[in-house]
Structure 1
């Protein structure tokens, strides 16, 4: 048994008598040029305060905007990309690209917040700090150096993030919000103080840490405790019996030596409380190590809301040295209240309007000062709960206070502003949102922090909708949403095409969130804007991936999908029926325009001929209380523009889509990109579990959940006869977990829960639609000992591989071609290249590897594990050796930012369809798609020539 650690830290184990003793794992530095991460689809967790944005600046240079949000058990880091089109008639829009995941939480992340400078002007720290908290009371502070963000290659520029602080909230309380700030000290030791505030259940928890700037490492600053043998100082404030729902904190420098730390919290009683503590210059006496909160006092108690205070936000006036701060609070009473905190001695005209004075926790020898708070205004325009508030960034504010953005469960967001700078008279400036009955409520809202030219809304299903402000006409136009599945990804499938010169492949994904989603690369012939992004102007990218359609929004959790072509697929939910779908004419026209495919016919491979777009349905609609998408005849509605309103609802509750529109916005994805259902496939007694499409698209294989052999049969559906049942294949005793057709269509591989596999072959050769019979199965005691999750064919169909929960990867020879009279089921033995890992194998796929050397035949294998790990390795042999004499290359494990959440099973990995190239030709890069139960879909671009050179480099040339 051999053990070794990959660059990502995952311990792998390999057991093979035939393997070289020098086998090892390749490091990330070795293969960084061969594998690039091009796309991640993920959603924001269904919690308010679970996303935040920050502008990255160095000196006076703005490098761009970072978005951090919680997705499943991880924190995603995304960057805003602003491409500039070279084509005069083609418009590209700003969109987010997820660069990586921060892994370490063991429960869903509830809240995320950037830790900013406590001063009015951002400091020049060479690192960033990010706080996150999860559902199991774990709070983390992540650190990343600016150099790792700015100087790394684009494909890896998510930054080198490391957990700096890891604390656990006492009593296992569930956090609702987190905030904090960095306070620079005037001492010469290069230290600064980080304050971390968390509200959980009925308590406010406060930590203080000291960071030593002079000891900054690659991961960020070195954290110091107040005392070497004791943890950082900690305090807790009890608000019982009220639940703490939202939080903001800030500090006020009353004088050069007087610092007051304020914590503002919204309660479920409709009250907003302000707590304060005096921070001593040494930061060692303000609170004892046992959690005593004697130094915290309640400065003020603000009433007015009649229901829960769900959100709040602060903004400070940077034009004055005195404190002038606006506080906005939003509640479930549909009302927003504005409060003004000010120095009463500096603003005498407001002294009569004040609600109360803040009690300040100053020591007896401190300089006396007074802060007051006044009720500024009450904003009432939302028709449901106010869920998010955000003040516009200072760069956009001409005067103080700036614009205010609010989000609500009424499916709208409102930009508020005092007209003509008359503070006190706040009116609705702009209203945006999702229209139609299918519109979704918003849970939070954000401004673009660099210039305030965009607003973002986090909706109930985890998507981040965007609107961009035009300087020419003053309108807000919808942009690309950041979206993904909000449930486990169960299956994925690349679209199949007739020609090897296909310009693109659609990627279909299904999830237990009851949706089917289509992803595609937007073809760009433009350079990324270097002033807004983190890259060099010499970098050129021709694709930017997006979700372009949501063909199916079902009433059942989705289990499986099999693509028939670029415009048709078969899917199965958690029901006994499989369903066949085709695209709409509006989708085909939009694809041709968006993806620049005007000269490429989107053919329907099901019929093996090009299907005229005019014969497709114009659009589809899902009727009320129905599960089947139906063809809908469009009523006379105007095509939609790209301004504030981008959809129109007709009598069918369907949004008509314009072919001239950009990539779909979130409300279009909800209902304007549906595909009509053309056929239901009845035949299984229980829920359909897996599907597989024949390469010629003439057959579809399906299997269902089963505990008996009679129910575990595989059904073959005839695509040439209106999807009638062609044949039932009976062999397995339990559920068939996955099926895979060989590339030439001559064999069907099925793997099962009964720990066996089966291979089915045509009974008669040269038949257009033959019957299939069992030709191979594993010999007793020679296969897997646990459930077999996955199987895949090598691209030349000489071998197939199977992976199991027993942690073994086995390689088998394909059945030999025999005369019809000699077709009998043969028991098979695995080849002597068994690999054993420390985790169960749940997904695998194989594609052709480098073929430059005519003396070596090699296959690239991608494997996904129960632990969420992804690895790549090569199976190869010399043409001079026996076909069974195979060897394994070194292993490359994808780094943690590109992997899936630990403990979340990888459900499917799949290389995009490619044709088998003859020896001596140069292979083009290939895409690899992965999906897991963390709800994340990833796409990687692999340079097979370079990867082959890296993984096979440690071995001598096979002779």
Structure 2
């Protein structure tokens, strides 16, 4: 048996020090992703996250390559880890010097040999914090450095988010250390650290005479030997920190800065909350710093990180080579963006940035839908335009960008799904034609072939200016203003939007980029389902695709009801299922033939409902209940597929997962009126997710005896597959498994299985499992 990780989808953390590029020109980026350090190679379009380094107990807040083989990372619990290739991580405690640091920069001052031959290089440390001032320290180079403050740099008017050092050779050949700082005040400041004898007092006086405080500056003097301020007439051996330039151009917080990696090349890359990257360089004639390129999005006043919008860039990276081939950044949505040759945007990786709460395969397993507390649903599919070994998973649509945290998602057909956020309403969405054509061309998925009749899809979707729901829009539909129709102008705008959205997607030759995903891959909302009194907790669709079962959060029997909806009309089937659970129903599942509906809940109860005909329609009635099926909350349940055991009533088998650290397998009696727990498996942590897939019968086994593959997820992130094995801890998530879903067998080869795993660590993983077996 072989288990491999086929895909890891996870977004980057929203912190300025989120990422670092390997300095050995291999193009590998390490970035903070929830509690992991994730490794990715931007120039490899087809491959996503290569691996994740596990070890931190809290979200990672800073990542940096120390050398090509050593990565340093820090987390919000104050722990710093050093990761060395093929070696265990080393752990350190990090202590803040009396304030909350937001950024640091470390380099060395190289004394002039002509001035003091005995003076060795010293460390220089700059710290930006929740303050308008920058603290500068120096220390002798040693294994246990002791830093002394030499300056407090004034000038910024808000918190400082980014600092970066770089050495440059001046025209006279002298080495000068530059420090660049970026702040929430929207400005970038350049500082020089240089021998005091080279500083011209005339320039200092000019700065001090300026009335505008933005340009005000002071020379900070210090001695390398003592770190104390120096004021002797003999300037040899003394150094100064001086203000050099002010860069203005961003419309919002400056969050990340990086120098060009080539030696002595004076170019600077900045990332801002205004959703733009800017490349700066000094004019050769005047020496004034100007912006030579601007990448990203057009700034929108009042729609930025400072005002809580979803826009903004949180880091800026140059490939570490003398001639960088790409620039990358990550936005507030956690998705990466890459520009090649500083102009053309290329394929990057995406992922959720909060707990993943729901996953659902399409009926044929062609694609995977995911839902998260980051208020989005996403569609993942395999990009299949190259050689077979180049296939890789990418996000091909972001059907729903919602105002509520998403809780659950279920596929009704290859083009329709139902989702629910942290609200009382369920919403039904239909795939637009633009996304359907994109999937057909790049993933070889034909959604029309899954239905006998022709599928009529809307062209695209958009959110009306005064609306909250995704609305279907069609191309070429425009109103006639001369007719006096009040909707004419609105229809014209919608038609224009549809044209732009449709063309931007169908013309793609790669998976959608982040701007496409945010604006042009929405699914139109076709129905809203009401009835529940509190936020939706679970939903399930019958295998016939005719019935949707839903439930909501509850603390009494009045609200702990199950509502059934007819998917052909979206009318509720009366009466709803009640007088069973007393608290929230956490999961619902239909048996393979839809004869039974299983519900489990926080009240430790499991209930089996059986289908009945009533007044010419179909509904369900309570057939069996186990008030104390487990000793703690039951989190999840799963029916075994039909034909797993011998034919007859005993064929109905299901599994339940509970906080009491057990999984129980239940089998029906001959009469079908009672289920008994026939197997119990104990684990070391709470069991939070379970799913069953029919294991194919091997040639050595009795063909009359079928077995099931039972996937089990725990609260600590471990994943087990029975009757096979436990997955290695290194490839398992680090937090609670929220959902497990086996990929339908039609999409897997002989002896190959795939299971999708959703976790509270913000990741979605797809595992490939290979077993020696036949159909």
Distance 1:134 1:916, change over 3 A: closer
Indicate which of 162, 171, 175 corresponds to 1:323: 175
Instruction: Mark the CA change 1:651 to 1:583 in structure 2 (over 3 Å): closer, same or farther.
Output: closer
Structure 2 match to 1:74: 36
The residue that corresponds to 2:57 in the other structure is 106
Residue 872 to residue 253, structure 1, CA distance change in 2 (3 Å): farther
Pair 1:794–1:303, CA change in 2 (3 A): same
Tell me which moved more, 861-870 or 731-740: 731-740
Match of 2:7 among 39, 46, 53: 39
Runs (5+) with no aligned partner, structure 1 = 1-30, 83-93, 117-126, 146-160, 170-199, 204-237, 288-292, 470-474, 498-503, 527-539, 638-648, 819-824, 875-888, 949-959
> Where does residue 509 of structure 1 map in the other structure?
370
What is aligned with 2:409?
561
What is the aligned partner in structure 1 of residue 691 from structure 2? 845
One of 381, 386, 392 as aligned partner of 1:520: 381
Instruction: State the partner residue of 2:512.
Output: 664
Relative to structure 1, the CA distance from residue 663 to residue 714 in structure 2 (aligned partners, 3 Å threshold; closer, same or farther) is same
Residue 952 (structure 1) aligns with: none
Cα pair 1:95 1:482 within 8 Å, conserved:
no
8 Å CA contact retained: 1:927, 1:941: yes
Query: Structure 2: how far apart are the matches of 1:755 and 1:301?
Result: 60
Return the alpha-carbon distance in structure 2 between the equivalents of residues 96 and 691 of structure 1: 33
Alignment partners' CA distance in 2, 1:736 and 1:248: 51
Paired residues of 2:359 and 2:371 also in contact (CA < 8 A) = yes
- Partner Cα distance (1:47, 1:635) in 2: 43
Aligned to 2:607: 758
Name the residue aligned to 1:336.
188
* Pair 1:861-2:710 in alignment: yes
The answer to whether residue 335 in structure 2 is matched with residue 463 in structure 1 is yes
The range that moved more, 68-77 or 311-320, is 311-320
| Of 657, 674, 677, the match for 1:827 | 674
In the alignment, the residues of structure 2 paired with residue 714 and residue 636 of structure 1 have an alpha-carbon distance, to the nearest angstrom, of 41
Q: Count the aligned residue pairs.
A: 709
1:609 aligns with 2:452: yes
Residues 796 and 916, structure 1, Cα contact 8 Å, conserved in 2:
no
User: 5 Å matches for 1:490-509?
Assistant: 490-497=357-364, 505-509=366-370
The answer for the alignment partner of 2:743 in structure 1 is: 912
Distance in 1 between residues matched to 2:718 and 2:203, nearest whole Å:
60
Structure 1 match to 2:126: 264
1:131 corresponds to: 72
Q: Per-residue displacement from partner, 1:156-204 (whole Å, max 9, x unpaired)? A: xxxxx522132253xxxxxxxxxxxxxxxxxxxxxxxxxxxxxx3xx2x
**Is the contact made by 1:635 and 1:650 (CA closer than 8 Å) also made in structure 2?**
no
Cα gap change, 1:758 to 1:521, in 2 (>3 Å): same
Change (3 A) 1:871 1:713: same
CA drift at 1:321? 8.4
Any idea what SS the aligned residue of 1:945 has? coil
Q: Identify the structure with bigger relative contact order (alpha carbons < 8 Å, sequence gap 6+).
A: 1
- Separation in 2, partners of 1:691, 1:322: 69
Q: Structure 2: which 5+ runs fail to align?
A: 112-116, 205-217, 228-234, 304-308, 479-492, 644-650
The SS at the match of 1:77 is: strand
Instruction: State the SS of the aligned residue for 1:588.
Output: helix
2:139, 2:7 → 1: CA distance?
45
Alignment deviations for residues 480-501 of structure 1 (CA, whole Å, 9 cap, x no partner) = 233222221111111113xxxx
Is contact 1:322–1:343 with CA below 8 Å preserved after alignment? Answer: no
Check if 1:391 corresponds to 2:254. no
* Cα separation, 2, equivalents of 1:621 and 1:916: 32
Counterpart CA distance in 2 for 1:128 and 1:727 is 64
The answer (yes or no) to whether the contact 1:690–1:739 under 8 Å persists in 2 is yes
Alignment partner, residue 489 of structure 1: 356
Q: Does 1:378 align with 2:235?
A: no
Question: What does residue 190 of structure 1 align with?
Answer: none
CA positional deviation for 1:39: 1.2
1:454 and 2:326 equivalent? yes
Task: Quote the offset at 1:838 in angstroms.
Answer: 1.6
TM-score for the superposition, normalised by structure 1? 0.68
Residue 746 (structure 1) shift: 2.9
How far did residue 724 of structure 1 move? 4.0
- 8 Å contact 2:435–2:505 — kept in the other structure? no
Within the candidate set 360, 369, 394, 1:546 is matched to 394
Q: Deviations over 1:323-373 (max 9, x none)?
A: 33332211222221223444577xx69896577475233279xx9745455
Partner of residue 884, structure 1: none
Alpha-carbon displacement from aligned partner over 1:664-712 (angstroms, at most 9, x marks no partner)? 2222212211111111112222221111111221111111122333422
| Distance (Å, rounded) in 2 between the aligned partners of 1:358 and 1:35 | 61
Mapped partners of 1:590, 1:134: distance in 2 = 39
